[in-house]
């Protein structure tokens, strides 16, 4: 089965729509986007399989007031895609419940036999997302960054 470039672009569009308002309802769309044997990795965890991925996503948004992604740029080919984005996350346990903005990028590899995502890797600064917003740890990380920036 030959999958056309336009089909891959539509798949990426559908993925972006799912992440644009990332919540328990939108996560149900993962069934139409990801391969049953999806391999997903981000700086926090590696998961394999669609059920495990949806469980990870649902756990991640469980206590979030809001989470959405704004996509900046993309490159899509017949076999892979690269996306840049900004995640906007509001979580009761991070930054006093204020919105956090984390830039990142995604590398997707498509399944050969069907129009789904087979491999998904996210790259972002987990420190900017989590560690800097934990009271004591955040203070220490900011101090280290300040010292490193002083050498510029």
Listed range (11-25, 27-41, 83-97, 129-143) with the worst mean pLDDT: 129-143
Residue 40, pLDDT > 60, answer yes
Mean pLDDT confidence for 69-91: 96
Residue 147 is assigned to a structural domain of this protein: no
- Specify the number of domains making up the chain: 1
Cα–Cα distances in Å, from 107 out to 24, 82, 84? 23, 5, 9
Residue 30 is assigned to a structural domain of this protein: yes
More confident residue, 140 or 48: 48
Domain that holds residue 97: 5-124
Residue 49, pLDDT > 90, answer yes
Cα–Cα distances in Å, from 67 out to 8, 22, 32, 60, 78? 25, 5, 20, 10, 29
Residue 151 is assigned to a structural domain of this protein: no
Residue 113 is assigned to a structural domain of this protein: yes
Residue 144 is assigned to a structural domain of this protein: no
Cα–Cα distances in Å, from 151 out to 67, 127, 141, 148? 35, 20, 16, 6
27: nearest Cα among 49, 7, 51? 51
Residue 22's pLDDT band (cuts 50, 70, 90): very high
Residue 152 is assigned to a structural domain of this protein: no
Residue 99 is assigned to a structural domain of this protein: yes
More confident residue, 2 or 100: 100
SS3 46: strand
Give the highest mean pLDDT range of 50-54, 58-62, 98-102: 50-54
Q: What is the mean pLDDT of the chain?
A: 89
More confident residue, 137 or 90: 90
Is this model's pTM higher than 0.85 or not?
no
Residue 131 is assigned to a structural domain of this protein: no
Cβ-based burial of 148 (10 A; exposed 0-12, middle 13-18, buried ≥19): exposed
12: nearest Cα among 100, 67, 79? 79
- pLDDT tens digits, 92-139: 777 778 888 999 999 999 999 999 999 999 999 877 666 565 666 666
Residue 63's pLDDT band (cuts 50, 70, 90): confident
50: nearest Cα among 59, 40, 41, 42? 40
**CATH number of the domain bearing residue 112:** 3.10.450.50
**pLDDT recorded at residue 106:** 99
């Amino acid at each position: 089965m030959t999958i056309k470039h336009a089909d891959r672009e539509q798949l990426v569009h559908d993925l972006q729509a799912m992440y644009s308002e990332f919540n328990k309802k939108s996560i149900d769309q993962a069934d139409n986007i990801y391969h049953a044997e999806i391999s997903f990795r981000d700086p926090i965890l590696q998961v394999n399989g669609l059920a495990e991925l949806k469980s990870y996503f649902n756990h991640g948004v469980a206590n979030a007031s809001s989470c959405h992604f704004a996509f900046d740029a993309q490159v899509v080919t017949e076999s892979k895609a690269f996306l840049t984005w900004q995640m906007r996350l509001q979580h009761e346990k991070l930054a006093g419940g204020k919105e956090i903005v984390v830039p990142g990028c995604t590398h997707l590899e498509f399944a050969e036999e069907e129009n789904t995502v087979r491999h998904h890797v996210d790259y972002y600064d987990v420190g900017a997302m989590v560690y800097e917003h934990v009271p004591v740890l955040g203070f220490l990380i900011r101090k280290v960054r300040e010292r490193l920036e002083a050498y510029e």
